[in-house]
Each structure stands twice: as C-alpha cells, then as structure tokens.
Structure 1
Amino acid sequence: MEDNLPLQNCNNDDALSFKNNMFKVRQIKQALQDSLKGAIANALYESLKSQQVEIDTGIIINHHYYKANERWFVEGIDCEILKIGASGWQKGKVKIKTTLEFIPDEPEVKEVLMQNEEETLMRNELEISQLDSPLDELRKMINQEN
C-alpha cells in the first residue's frame, strides 16, 4: 500500500507524545494503515450499508469470492462515472485517501501575529515621525506673509 498518510513537516523518525505515551510517526502511520485495511474498512462498509449504500467491494481470486473492504483504502473500488456533458460513462476507481496532520497550538500563531502587528505599528510610527507636519506648511505660509 502506498503511503497515503502524509504528515506534513514531520518525518518517519520524529516522535509524537500523547500524555504518557510516545510513538514515532512511522508507528502511528503503520497502525493507521493496518486499521484502515481491517476494522475501519469493515465499519465503513457496514455504515454505508445501513444507509442503503451497499457497494460491492469483493474480489474473485482463484474462483473464490472474497469481501475486500480494505480496497477502499488500498487500490480503490472499480466504478464508472457519467459527467454532465460527457458522451458516455468513464471507467475508473474510487479510492479513499487519508491524511494525518500536525497542527501547532494557536498561541504560537497568535504570538507571531502580535509580533508582526507590533513591527507594523513601529514602522508606521517611524514613517509618521519622518513626515512633515501639516502645520509646517501653514507656518511657512504665515511667515511668508509677515
């Protein structure tokens, strides 16, 4: 099975800590892939079936039929699509891809935004202080008249 669980900004040897447990990214990805091929795939099939969406995921090998729900996550399920405006059905597969994301806590993002805002305010204040005051022009005009 291809690695369809990318974890952005992390590599397989990075460690993730969950309270008192620590795992390498590789371990979590492998456990998720195994779950997708087993219990989660079966639960997906049963859940869809309970909603009257029964999709045959079976495969025939050596004249024997096997229910293969993991195909949703591995190679995909054969199907056809009829698109609006198309001249006919197009064959293909539907595959469920999953992602595993690490999202940093918000305070770090807020700190960066606050730093950016402070820098912008300082730049604006510096620009304002470097500009001539509108009163300077009036003073020049009054001085010229006198």
Structure 2
Amino acid sequence: MNDNFILLESDDVVLLGEDTFKVSQIEQLIQKNIKEKLQRHIYEYNSFHPGASMLEFFNSIPIGKTNIDLAEIKHEYIQNCQVLRINGRGWEKGKLKIEIIILPTNNSDKQVYVKFIPDEHMECEAFLDEIFQIVYDNPIGECK
C-alpha cells in the first residue's frame, strides 16, 4: 500500500460497516481502548512481576553488546470504508488507515492519525504504473 493517504479532518465522517463516526470520535475511541488495554496488561503483568511495566520491555533492544533505544511503537490498521469529507465531495469509497504511535518511555502519550485513500485514486495509480511500464519497456527512439 502506498503513502498517498490523505489525513482526514476531525469533522470528516467515516462509515465502517453499519457504523458512522466523526474522525474525532474514532480518535477518542481508539485512545480509550488503548488506555484500557495497556492498564489491564500492566496490571496483569505487575501482579506477577511487581515494579516493571509491560512497555519497559520495549525501551531498548540488545543487539550484541549494543542496546538500541526504541523511539516509538507504530501500529497501522487498514480497513475498507466510505468517507464523507467536509469539502463536500460526497461519499467516497476507499481505504481507511489508522496509525497509532505509542512512545514506550511515556505510555500516556499516544498519537492517532486517521487517513484515507479513495479507491479511484488507487485505480488511477495502477493505470499510471502500467503506462510507465510500457514506456520503460519501449523507449522512444530506441535503435534496434
């Protein structure tokens, strides 16, 4: 999947299956869900290993004698959807990409980005890729 996803505005509307949400609601629900899951896992882990947080394991990764500090943990979820953007283009079918970034050193700071790419954009891009491949395979003025 490419990087041509468009960052949605907080008032844009997303249709996921039969449920409709504003982007701001999706961000809030994700934040709440992550917080609850992290608290539950940290509690369960601390019950067996008091004094250590689940995310502390991700602070650094040893490779040989070197420790590499981890800057962030990034999750991406992609889902088919429809979006009604505030710019008034009507409902668009496409892919929703939700990026969640968690900083292992600060588990209270989570960033959520909700992005969208219309299906028509992906179809145009595939068509352009085919044209570029034809031009690449058959350069103009090539001597035989």
* TM-score in same-fold range (> 0.5): no
Structure with the greater relative contact order (CA < 8 A, sep ≥ 6): 1 or 2? 2
**Structure with max Cα Rg:** 1
Higher helix residue share: 1
Structure ranking higher in strand proportion: 2
